[in-house]
Amino acid sequence: MIDHSLLRPELTLDEVRAGCELAARYDVASVCVRPADVTDAVALLKGTGVLVGTVVGFPHGGTTTDGKVAETRIAVAQGAAEIDMVLNIGWLRSGLEEGVEADIRAVVEAADNATVKVILENAYLTDPQKIAGCEAAERAGAHYVKTSTGFAPGGATMEDLALMRAAVSPHVKIKAAGGVRTLDILLAMAAIGVTRFGATATAAILDDQARRSQANTGG
What whole-number distance in Å separates Cα of residue 50 and Cα of residue 11? 20
Query: What pLDDT digit, counting tens, does each position of 56-90 carry?
Result: 999 999 999 999 999 999 999 999 999 999 999 99
175 is catalytic: yes
* Predicted model pTM: 0.95
Catalytic residue among 84, 103, 117, 160: 84
Closest CA to 1 of 212, 149, 192: 192
What whole-number distance in Å separates Cα of residue 134 and Cα of residue 143? 11
Taking the domains of the chain in order of start, what are their residue ranges? 2-217
3-state secondary structure of 95: coil
173 is catalytic: no
C-beta separation of 135 from 167 below 8 A: yes
Backbone angles phi, psi at 109, to 5 degrees: -65, -40
184 is catalytic: no
Query: What pLDDT digit, counting tens, does each position of 164-208 carry?
Result: 999 999 999 999 999 999 999 999 999 999 999 999 999 999 999
CATH dotted code for 2-217? 3.20.20.70
